[in-house]
Structure 1
Amino acid sequence: MKNKALITGATGFIGGALARSLLKNGWSVAIIIRDGSDATHIQDVINESTTHIYDGRVETLIDIMADVKPNVVFHLASLVLVKHEPADIENLIFSNITFGTQLLESMVKTGVGNIVFASTLWQFSGEDECQSVNLYAATKKAFQVVVDYYHDAFGISAVSLILADTYGVGDKRPKLINFLVEALGEATELSMSPGEQIIDISHVRDVARSFEFAALKLFRSTESLRLNLAVCGTRVTVKQLVSIVETVGKGKINAVFGGRPYRTREILCPAQLPQLEPNWEKVALDDGIRELIEASLKAHL
């Protein structure tokens, strides 16, 4: 019998990659999207899965959960904001706390026992590595407390996968590595921070496989689990990343280090957290960058 997954956030870069990876590996996949969401870029996923529309009500989620009866819920939907404005607060709370709580409640009501959800390394800042970098990270941390309650009270098995920086072909997010690839060989200056901060960067294929690996860990357990595990890739400074992109791309990036200050509450050295240990060889950073460069060249032909 096929493993059955219900995915939130499938219209996002990582969620879409996860859906494609699961389908390739023989899973039955259902996705939840909001009415009016732009799903044109995951049409291949929609063609091979079942799509359910979320209207903001927990009753709708209960009906969806009862219809799908998944072995595991992959919860990746969130609102990511580096910096918030007063008008963003309601959406941050709803997207990152309320929706997930409704999801957990619907699992309890329908007897679904496993969830793997995305957290962020930005939750682990400061000298004690317990501070949130921004309000987005604080809402993600608050949701972890909600998950703890549903685990303690109802036996929900849950893995929080703590993500750092992620990348891959087709990523439309404003990511540093994409800016660097586009800046190869260009005369225009790229204003950057001093560049001494360390980043932890993972290829999206490894991230997608990590979600599946975490689910299988829950399936194998004979007891209810509650785990917080980091998805770790390659750790380099920003300056080193620039150098690697230049080497792989055989070109020069006109980077101006110190052209702008570090961001407020910048993490200079990521926390060392318990890791999810995969049983596969991860995508090497050089190879991932080469994929980005080749895709960029094709796009400009």
Structure 2
Amino acid sequence: MDKTVLVTGATGFIGSVLVSSLQKNGYRVRIFLRPESDSRKAEALGAEAVAGRYDDADALRRAVEGVSMVFHLAGVTKSLDEQGFAAGNVMPVRNLLELMAHHGGAVERFLLVSSLAAAGPARSADPGVRESDPPRPVSAYGRSKLEAEKVCMEWSDRLPVTVVRPPAVYGPGDRDVLQFFASLQKRLMLAAGDGRSQRFSLIHVHDLVEGMVGAAISPAAEGQTYFVTSPRGYSWDEVAHAALGELGVERYLKVPLPKPVIHALAAVAGATGRLTGKPALLNPDKASEMVQDYWVCSPEKARRDFGFDATTSLEEGVRSTIRWYKDAGWL
């Protein structure tokens, strides 16, 4: 196969898995590296690299020239303000599409990796939010991802674009869900609210990458938006029970955190972040997402349009991920 594919955000958790998958399937992969990207991770990917920033037209032109597909994963999940989210999540999409339209050649697909946060939480766990539901993001991050989607679709009459919205993603190399397992290993689980009502969609990174590629090569997916997600929503207790045996833990203490307490802690951490100039892991924006009960989305449209099904069971995915953490010395 002589097709060249551009991947942004390639040194990240999902991006590195995508690059490996594309290479195994015969694609030549080019990656776009910002100055702050991890150069060692980039070198380990064994892909052609173009360095630059998303406001550098010359660098973007070099990145998009001659590529057949673009997978845009790069973005920011933390920022001190709305402007930071716009600069990290919206501006790059606009600039990439403009350069592609003028210098990209015969592009077969531009795939934007957005987020369930752009749609907002569901009103119930079954069936969860669908692509046809009006978006109602509850955070600045979610609003910026939704704005990026709108920019993407504004080009749909000139370029073949597709948007995928993953829910929470886990698997080898992920550091977010790692924190949950590390706490569980100490026999402790913190739960928002009463810890009983919350449900969320979850997908293993290898399933997500399969769904992303499936969406990118499907004629039916052009101009469309998809949730690439698990068959149903889960509770944190279900995830914990899938992990206990591999962690060598028989039971754990669940500590409910009332939602007002989460908001109060986030306000303090957010104020500290503004003083230091560094966005905190917990902040008011993140708290707005944490207190929602149903981060659940439906896989029906992706299944219908390009036959996607997440085949990694929760038990298999959790256990293999924990084994990877142990082998890597992370647990």
1:185/1:151 CA distance change after superposition, 3 Å: closer
For 1:98, the equivalent position in structure 2 comes to: 91
Q: Deviations over 1:173-218 (max 9, x none)?
A: x22xx2332234525x443223221111111111111121112114
The residue identity in structure 1 corresponding to 2:226 is L
Residue 35 of structure 2 contacts residue 51 of structure 2 at CA under 8 Å; is this kept in 1?
yes
Do structure 1's residue 65 and structure 2's residue 64 form an aligned pair? yes
User: 2:310 and 2:203 mapped to 1: Cα distance?
Assistant: 12
User: 1:191 and 1:235 mapped to 2: Cα distance?
Assistant: 19
For 2:206, the equivalent position in structure 1 comes to: 205
Out of 240, 255, 258, the residue aligned to residue 256 of structure 2 is 258
For 1:5, the equivalent position in structure 2 comes to: 5
For 2:21, the equivalent position in structure 1 comes to: 21
User: 2:328 and 2:258 mapped to 1: Cα distance?
Assistant: 30
Do structure 1's residue 229 and structure 2's residue 226 form an aligned pair? yes
Do structure 1's residue 163 and structure 2's residue 175 form an aligned pair? no
Q: Where do 1:212-291 residues align within 5 Å?
A: 212-218=213-219, 225-233=222-230, 234-247=232-245, 249-261=247-259, 263-265=287-289, 266-269=291-294, 270-272=296-298, 274-277=300-303, 278=307, 282-291=311-320
TM-score w.r.t. length of structure 2: 0.77
The residue identity in structure 1 corresponding to 2:73 is L
SS at match of 2:202: strand
For 1:43, the equivalent position in structure 2 comes to: 43
For 2:272, the equivalent position in structure 1 comes to: none
Deviant stretches of 4+, over 3 Å = 126-129, 247-250, 271-275, 278-281
1:5/1:123 CA distance change after superposition, 3 Å: same
For 1:118, the equivalent position in structure 2 comes to: 113
Deviation at 1:41, TM superposition (A): 2.7
Deviation at 1:138, TM superposition (A): 0.6
Do structure 1's residue 294 and structure 2's residue 318 form an aligned pair? no
Q: Percent identity?
A: 21
TM-score w.r.t. length of structure 1: 0.84
Question: How many residue pairs align between the two structures?
Answer: 283
- Unpaired runs of 5+ residues, structure 1, are none
Deviation at 1:260, TM superposition (A): 4.6
Deviation at 1:281, TM superposition (A): 6.2
Residue 183 of structure 1 contacts residue 253 of structure 1 at CA under 8 Å; is this kept in 2?
no
Q: Deviations over 1:41-61 (max 9, x none)?
A: 34321x2x2000123312321
Q: Deviations over 1:199-242 (max 9, x none)?
A: 11111111111121112114xx6xx9301011111521122222
The residue identity in structure 2 corresponding to 1:50 is E
The residue identity in structure 2 corresponding to 1:240 is E
1:50/1:253 CA distance change after superposition, 3 Å: farther
Q: Deviations over 1:279-300 (max 9, x none)?
A: 5662111111111222233344
Deviation at 1:25, TM superposition (A): 1.2
Deviation at 1:40, TM superposition (A): 1.8
Residue 167 of structure 2 contacts residue 297 of structure 2 at CA under 8 Å; is this kept in 1?
no
For 1:143, the equivalent position in structure 2 comes to: 148
Residue 161 of structure 1 contacts residue 211 of structure 1 at CA under 8 Å; is this kept in 2?
yes
Deviation at 1:250, TM superposition (A): 4.8
